[in-house]
Amino acid sequence: MIKGEMKDLDLYLDFSEMGSGMAGFDSLYYKYHQAVYANILKMVREPAVAEDLLQDVFLALWEHHTSIESNRVANWLFVVSYNKSLTFLKKLRRSPVSLVPEIAVLENIASSDLLSEEDFLERLAMVEEAIALLPERKKEIFYKYRFEGIPLQEIASLLNISVHTVKDHLKVATKFIREYMTEKSCHPSNADLLLISLYFSL
């Protein structure tokens, strides 16, 4: 894309401004790949498949980075990894029974469960609303663990607190977000319940 073609271009990812293009991409991969992989693995339950889908997600990031706002990278990755995982599971569900492994979550996926990115962002907006209501320390710990994939021990070292304290903060924050989403979705769909169970359970 030629600079100037998009209004407020500086709001969008520009790998060239992070050093070389590949270096900028690598920095985002390093920051987010653990969390993205963990989210995918919770859904597909197969490490090899999760690795393949992880590469697909970051390939999509490389291909579409000029249309992604820099402050929405974590959410964008969250959306795309969910949708790619769900698409894989739906294809797997249509496979011959002999080829389908024992993945319990398949039984909970209906044809209407595949969400558009806009619909999914609405659900993420609910998550963000809930996170904004958290005390600052719980908010910080939640982001580091759930969205950046930083291990509990590392978070404890960064914040100079015990791992037990990190777990307590995370447990309270997760419970609050789960209850907030359930309350906001008066009649939660299968997709809402799947999102809550996969991403906001301990």
**Where along the chain do its domains lie?**
8-100, 117-202
Whole-angstrom distance, CA of residue 164 vs CA of residue 200? 19
Whole-angstrom distance, CA of residue 64 vs CA of residue 92? 27
Range 117-202 classified under CATH 1.10.10.10? yes
Asked whether this chain's domains 8-100 and 117-202 adopt the same fold, the reply is no
Which tens digits make up the pLDDT trace of 37-49?
988 888 888 899 9
Contact 89, 44 (CB under 8 A): yes
Instruction: Note the pLDDT of residue 91.
Output: 81
Contact 78, 123 (CB under 8 A): no
Q: What pTM, to 2 d.p., does this model score?
A: 0.62
Angle at 171 between CA 169 and CA 173, to 5 degrees: 65
Contact 193, 200 (CB under 8 A): no
Which tens digits make up the pLDDT trace of 128-144?
888 899 999 999 998 88
Write down the architecture of domain 8-100 according to CATH: Orthogonal Bundle (1.10)
